[in-house]
Amino acid sequence: MVDSLKEIRRSQFLAELLDQLQDPVHVRLVKAFEGDEPVQSMEEELKRIILEILNYEN
């Protein structure tokens, strides 16, 4: 129960934080805050964002 409540509470905090963000990159990074290794998950998202820029044709 404690774990699921923690998950809900964490989601509430993140939702409040997302409300304050406008930069789409920031939104994507905060949305990637999940799982047991959120830093790793966010780093992977940031890597994806950078690769998207690198691979963008125009």
Partner 1 sequence: MKIKSMTAKGFRGFNVERSINFHDRLTLIYAPNSYGKTSISEALEWLLYGVTSKVEGADYSKDEYKGSYRNSHFPESLTPFVEIILADGVNETIFRAELYADTIQKKYVNGAEVQEWSLDYNPLEIPKPFILQHALKHLLLVTPDERFKGFARLLGFEDLDQIQRKLVSLCTKPDAAIPSEARQLEKDIDALQARLDAQPSLGSVSKNFKRRKKGLSETYETTMNECRQRVPAGTDDASIVPQLLKIRDEAVSKFFKGNIVLNDYGVTEKQNLMDDENFALGYVTDSLIKKYSDLIALATIQYVVNRIKLFDLGINLLENDPNKCPLCGQEVNQTRMQHIRNEHSNLVQEKERNATLTRQRDDVLKSLMELENRLTGYHHRHATKAESFLKIRDSLVLLRKILTPKHDKHYQAIETALSEVSEVKDRFEKTYALLTKDLDDVKKSINESKEKQKLIKALGSSTPRYIRDAKSFVEVVSRNATSVSEAKQVLKYELDSIAGTEDISVLVDLLTRWNAVKKQFEIDNVLDNLKELRRIVDQYVANKMLSAVSEELTSEVMAWYEQIKTKGDPDVHFGGFDLERNSKGELKARRVQIKATSYGKELVSAVSSLSESKLNALGLAISIAHNLKGNSPFEFIVIDDPIQSLDEEHAVQFIDVVRQLVERDKQVILLSHSRQWINQLRAGCRTLNGWFYEITSYTRDGPHIVEVHWEKRTERLKEVDAVLKDPNAVSIRVQQAEEEIRIVIAELASELYEQKTGTRKSPHDINQSKARKMLIECGIDNQLVDKVTQTFETTDDAHHASTGYTASRERLRNYYDLTLRLTQYIK
Summarize as ranges the residues that interact with partner 1 (CB under 8 A): 1-2, 5-6, 9-10, 13-14, 16-17, 20-21, 23, 25-26, 29-30, 33, 38-39, 42-47, 49-51, 53-54, 56, 58
**Separate counts of helices (H) and strands (E) for the chain:** 3, 0
Minimum CB–partner distance for residue 28 and partner 1 (Å): 10
Q: Nearest approach, Cβ of 11 to partner 1 (angstroms)?
A: 9
Distance CA 38, CA 29 (A): 10
Amino acid found at 57: E
